[in-house]
Amino acid sequence: MTQRNSQELDPFVERLASLFLREGGCPYGEGGKASPEPTILSLIALLAAGSYEDKANSLIPWILKHQTENGSIGINPMNYGWGTWLSAHFAVFCHHYRLRSHLENAMRFLQSFRSVTLPRDPKAKQDNSIVGWPWVPGTFGWVEPTAWAVIAFNLCGMEQNPRALEGRRFLLDRCIPSGGWNYGNAELNDRELLPFWDTTALALLALQGTAEEKRLSLSLELLEKNQDKINSLLGTAWTLLALKVYSRDTGRLRPKLISVMQTLNDNDFNAAHYAIGIIALSGKKVLTP
Amino acid sequence: MNRRQFIKGTAFLLNSSLIGSLPRSRPAESYPVTLLPMASYEIDLSREIASAISEDGLAVKGKRVILKPNFVEVHPGRPINTHIQVIANVAEACLKLGASAVIVGEASGHRRDPWFSVLNPDLRAVLDKRVKCVDLNHGDAVRVANRGKRTGLSSFYIAEPVMRGDILISLPKLKTHHWMGVTLSLKNLFGVLPGIYYGWPKNLLHFRGIDNSILDLAETIKVHYTVIDGVVGMEGDGPIMGRAKRVGALVMSPFSLAADATAARLMGFDPARIPYLAMAGRFMPGLNGSHVSFRGENPKRFAMRFDCRDEFKSMRGGPFW
């Protein structure tokens, strides 16, 4: 565990922790059932925010008991086959909490969890033969689950693993020529798709330190120059995380993120997104080696 | 028909304690579709919408109503999503009709960040303060047996707020679709499936066949009413990269397929040539145009020819009226 980060984060951590359930786990929002994604991201946020062992201890047993024999973890504790994309997030958590056997099992699953490849589609210029990670078993690969899986490999010192190398190739292949990432395709019918802030930042985090800087510069500039247009909790948090890792200007993002998190009403509260906000505000590099 | 005439014809049911409880007598195989002129999004049509819903016999009073717009993805300047004023108008109509709760819910298909759908400040600004917005992508879900079985999926996980609602009103956008020809109310049901289960996009449904998935969902989930935003639709390379096409009407019906088939005809497509609509016609009423009874405007007024990708030109037909 790292040392306590900053008292500035206390109110945010307290608000997040107010959702933790007595029986374990964290729901997405008030009144919901405990769910693996907000639980895992809360655990990573608690670590990033400093030493909040007491709060983390109420979540850890709950999440660990949901890891399946094949190492995966799903979105639904009652039906493990769904949402196994979350296994990458789980691996990141296990890495930081030094849960070696759980981590090894999760990484073994991630190595076996492959997206489907497809023949080349004339509508899109991308290389559909590159294997990434899907949201759902038996389907195509997409930017977000692939970026999270590559992040898990990087953190575990497995960045040279063939799956990690191919995952980075996948992300570079899906990069929009003028910068940034959409959720999946870069172009369709000879037209560039719109870059999204969250997927662009995630891909940049996954590629940090491993890809050619020149290929990433347009994407970094895209986030940097659009700081004033990014207003959501999720977009601001991810952009702050990515730009900070690349030592780019983030001056306008931090106060904006604090303001967004402070003014978020209970009805709109999403614990998973809020946890990413705390991770971003902490300044800790928990998603890069 | 002008606005005053429309209200005069239908408003007698408004604010009546009998709203929704009147027995509906309808000739066999007659499925009502209301075409409500809406020249601009600035016009307040909540009274007319309430009148049409009442006339169609939908009992809203005391009910928990879920409004399901289409917020698949945001591109500045492109008419991809259901316009916020249409959502606001329908929400206001439901409040006028005595709904106990009105909830706008969407599981955006491409964007994980709910700021681009139900959290968007522009949407919040136009909605009555009593209306709640819920992100259906994140949160609890209910497993429901798949009544269609075309996809091979035994069940669907449906966002819990949808399952807790009494009435589901679908508010799609009138658009062409680069895989399906058109996207309307039936396709809009993809947006009740949480992204945390199905991903962004809901690629599992693509792999199981988009048409199969549309049909399975249509058999599994009851849509009580449809209001299609055809004020400004999308032609060409829809549902994201197409061009704006002004039609100037809302297409409303308690029968989803009747609304979709009518909307397809307004776009210049023969719904019987659009495979998934034709297949839906085997178990849902409203595909056959001769079985549709129109209220409001004559459909001729809005009929046009939407540009589309070459592979869908064989689906064109008409004139229908």
- CB of B140 less than 8 A from some CB of A: yes
- With CB atoms and an 8 Å threshold, state whether B199 touches A232: no
Q: Which residue type, as a one-letter code, is found at position A225?
A: K
DSSP H helical ranges for B99-181: 121-126, 160-164
CA B23, distance to chain mean position in Å, is 25
Q: Cβ of A79 and B143 within 8 Å?
A: yes
Residue B157 lies in a domain: yes
Cβ <8 Å between A75 and B196: yes
Query: Whole-angstrom Cα distance, residue B321 to residue B300?
Result: 6
Chain A residue with CA closest to B200: the answer is: A183
Separation between Cα atoms, residue B211 and residue B99, nearest integer Å: 33
| Strand-pair partners of B294 | B33
Q: Looking at residues A165-172, what average pLDDT do you find?
A: 96
Mean pLDDT calculated for residue range A169-177: 96
For B269, which DSSP code?
Answer: B
Task: Give the model confidence (pLDDT) of A252-276 as tens digits.
Answer: 899 999 999 999 999 999 999 999 9
Q: How many CB pairs under 8 A join A and B?
A: 102
Instruction: Look at residue B25 and tell me if it is in a domain.
Output: no
- At A6, the pLDDT band (50, 70, 90 cuts) reads low
Please indicate, yes or no, if residue B73 is contained in any of the structural domains.
Answer: yes
Interchain contact, B112 vs A79, CB within 8 Å: no
CB-based contact A183 B112, cutoff 8 Å: yes
Cα distance between residue B170 and residue B53, in whole Å: 13
Q: Is B157 in Cβ contact with A144 (below 8 Å)? A: no
DSSP per residue over A130-152, as a string? S---BSSTTSBB-HHHHHHHHHH
Q: How confident is residue A5, by pLDDT bands cut at 50, 70 and 90? A: low
Give residue A7's pLDDT.
81
The secondary structure of residue B130, as a DSSP letter, is: T
DSSP A90: H
Residues of B in contact with A28 (CB under 8 A): 138-140
Chain A residues whose CB is inside 8 A of the B133 CB are: 267-268
Does any domain span residue B54?
A: yes
Q: Could you give phi then psi for residue B173, rounded to 5 degrees?
A: -100, 145
CB of B115 within 8 Å of a chain A CB? The answer is yes
Measured CA distances, B139 to A27, A36, B161, B210 (Å)? 7, 11, 9, 24
Domain assignment of residue B5, yes or no: no
Q: Which residues from chain A sit within 8 angstroms of residue B204, using beta carbons? A: 135-136, 138-139
The reported pLDDT for the residue numbered A13 is: 96
Closest CA to A86 of B199, B78, B99: B199
Say if B160 falls within a structural domain.
yes
| CB contacts, 8 Å: B115 with chain A | 231-235
Residue A197 with chain B: CB contacts under 8 Å: 113
Chain A contact for B199 (CB, 8 A cutoff) = yes
Q: Do B197 and A270 touch (CB under 8 A)?
A: no
pLDDT at position A76: 87
pLDDT for A216 beyond 60: yes
Beta-strand pair B243-253/B225-235? antiparallel
Residue A101 above 60 pLDDT?
Answer: yes
Helix B84-96 with B46-55: angle, nearest 10 deg: 60
What tens digit of pLDDT does each residue of B8-34 get?
Answer: 444 333 333 222 333 343 446 799 999
Cβ of A267 and B132 within 8 Å? yes
- Residue B318: predicted pLDDT: 92
**B201 in Cβ contact with B109 (< 8 Å):** yes
Residues of A at the B interface, defined by Cβ within 8 angstroms: 27-29, 32-33, 35, 37, 75-76, 79, 82-83, 85, 116, 123, 134-136, 138-140, 142, 144-145, 182-184, 188-189, 191, 193-194, 196-198, 231-235, 267-268, 270, 272-273
Number of structural domains (chain B) is: 1
Q: Is B155 on the interface with A (CB under 8 A)?
A: no
What's the token pair of residue B295?
């209220």
Which residue of chain B is at minimal alpha-carbon distance from A74?
A: B197
The secondary element (H helix, E strand) that includes residue B257 is helix B256-266
Q: Is residue B244 part of a domain?
A: yes
Cis preceding-peptide flag for B201 (omega within 30 of 0): yes
β-pair partners for B159: B141
For residue B190, give its domain range.
30-315
What is the pLDDT tens value at each position of chain B, 321 positions in all? Answer: 555 554 444 433 333 322 233 334 344 679 999 999 999 999 999 999 999 999 999 999 999 999 999 999 888 889 999 999 999 999 999 999 999 999 999 999 999 999 999 999 999 999 999 999 999 999 999 999 999 989 999 999 999 999 999 999 999 999 999 999 999 999 999 999 999 999 999 999 999 999 999 999 999 999 999 999 999 999 999 999 999 999 999 999 999 999 999 999 999 999 999 999 999 999 999 999 999 999 999 999 999 999 999 999 999 999 999
Q: Residues of A with CB below 8 A from B140's CB?
A: 27-28, 32-33, 35
Closest-CA distance, B278 to chain A, in angstroms, reads 27
Residues in chain B: 321
Q: How far is B19 from chain A (nearest CA, A)?
A: 31
Chain A residues whose CB is inside 8 A of the B206 CB are 139-140
Inside any domain, residue B6: no
User: Cβ separation of B196 and A139 shorter than 8 Å?
Assistant: no
CA distance B1 to B8: 11
Cβ atoms of A243 and A219 within 8 Å: the answer is no
pLDDT digit string, tens, across residues A129-159: 999 999 999 999 999 999 999 999 999 999 9
Residue B75, SS3? coil
Mean pLDDT of A44-73: 93
How close B153 comes to chain A (CA, Å)?
Answer: 12
Q: What is the CATH number of the domain that holds B81?
A: 3.40.50
What is the DSSP-derived secondary structure letter of residue B102?
Answer: E
Which residues have CB under 8 Å from A125's CB, separation 6+? A186, A187
**Region class of A208: left (phi > 0), else alpha (psi between -120 and 50), else beta:** beta
Contacts of B121 in chain A (CB under 8 A): 231
Minimal Cβ distance to A136: which of B114, B135, B204: B204
Q: CA-nearest residue of chain A to B160? A: A32
ipTM confidence score: 0.96
Distance from C-alpha of B312 to C-alpha of A118, rounded to nearest angstrom = 23
Structure tokens at B321: 């009226």
Q: Are B115 and A231 in contact (CB < 8 Å)?
A: yes
State whether A231 and B112 contact (CB < 8 Å).
no
Interchain CB distance below 8 Å, B199 and A136: yes
